Amino acid sequence: MRKPIIAANWKMHKTVAEAVDFCVKLRETVLTVSGVEVLVCPPFTALSPVSAVIKDSEIKLGAQNMHWEEQGAFTGEVSPLMLKEAGCDYVILGHSERRQFFGETDEVINKKARAAFAHDLLPIICVGERLEQREAGETEAVVTAQVNNSLSGLTAAQVDKLVIAYEPVWAIGTGKTASDEDAQSVIKLIRSLVAEQFNPASAEKLRIQYGGSVKPGNTAGLMAQADIDGALVGGASLDLESFWGIVKAVK
């Protein structure tokens, strides 16, 4: 049985004070649910302060990106060792905004995924097609290449613990959510790709989130789909009431 995972990706939002304030309140609220993993992914500057606030609670901590090397002359980058030291359990890799604005490729994401596992960080690997690719009927081909290339060389044991987030780019921050059936169909495809590339048992353990304009009102329908194991939430995760509405909608 896969445990659903609801992740707050705050992107470039929240100062340290705002992040800490949110997590102090989230820590009290999270005691009231079970059966859902709750993860917050603040900006780098807030990782250590948030880690102190959520210590010994059920809330997990994730970063939004990292470099694959442990250290070196890579101005502006943050390494897996640093994220571990800051208290991270997870790291989001290959978000479409990283691919679009910072030129990240599947090969780079694959290097990062291997480095994350080598440092005991669990990657959340993001995949998803752009609008023009969907309209050209290329969704399946795009997602297939992203999954196969990003997971290349991982072991089945690693894939068991991996999280993939399917985020159609046209649904991110636009208010347009994929229909429950469309999201399920692509996520089912992703699970079958993992079964082929690794094995059916790993594909069954792998958790696959949906992301793209998730809100309290559309969560239950998405989560009712057989292969959807949670959500990667952007805008609606910035407000505690709205984020909590999403967590509570997971059954």
Ligand X SMILES: O=C[C@H](O)COP(=O)(O)O
Binding residues: 9-11, 173, 213, 234-235
Helices (H), the chain: 16-29, 47-54, 80-85, 96-102, 106-118, 131-135, 139-150, 156-161, 180-197, 200-205, 216-223, 240-248
Write the interaction track for ligand X spanning residues 102-141; mark x where CB under 6 A is met and - where it is not.
----------------------------------------
Min dist. Cβ of residue 190 to ligand X (A): 16
Residues 38-77 within binding reach of ligand X (CB under 6 A): none
Q: Which of 37, 97, 129, 167 is catalytic?
A: 167
Min dist. Cβ of residue 173 to ligand X (A): 4
Cβ closer to ligand X: 80 or 212?
Answer: 212
Of 4, 123, 212, 230, the residue at the interface with ligand X (CB under 6 A) is 212
Helix (H, G, I), strand (E, B) or coil at 38: strand
Of 129, 167, 227, 229, the residue at the interface with ligand X (CB under 6 A) is 167
Is 9 a binder of ligand X (CB under 6 A)? yes
Amino acid at 131: L
Burial class (CB in 10 A: 0-12, 13-18, 19+), 240: middle
Burial class (CB in 10 A: 0-12, 13-18, 19+), 167: buried
Cβ closer to ligand X: 145 or 238?
Answer: 238
Residue nearest to ligand X (CB): 234
Stretch that binds ligand X, among 27-35, 75-83, 166-174, 193-201 (CB under 6 A): 166-174
Q: How far apart are CA 168 and CA 152, in angstroms?
A: 22
- Whether residue 167 lies in the annotated active site: yes
Is 236 a binder of ligand X (CB under 6 A)? yes
- Whether residue 196 lies in the annotated active site: no
Beta bridge partners of 139: none
Query: Tokens for 71?
Result: 């250290």
Query: Tokens for 157?
Result: 């044991």
Helix (H, G, I), strand (E, B) or coil at 133: helix
Stretch that binds ligand X, among 116-124, 142-150, 227-235, 241-249 (CB under 6 A): 227-235
Q: How far apart are CA 118 and CA 102, in angstroms?
A: 24
Min dist. Cβ of residue 70 to ligand X (A): 26
Q: Which of 37, 67, 95, 97 is catalytic?
A: 95
Q: Binding site membership for substrate: which residues?
A: 9-11, 173, 213, 234-235
CA distance readout (Å), 27 to 71, 74, 137, 180, 220: 33, 35, 43, 30, 23
Question: Which are the catalytic amino acids?
Answer: 95, 167
The residues of the shown chain that bind ligand X, judged by CB under 6 A, are 9, 95, 167, 172-173, 211-214, 232-236
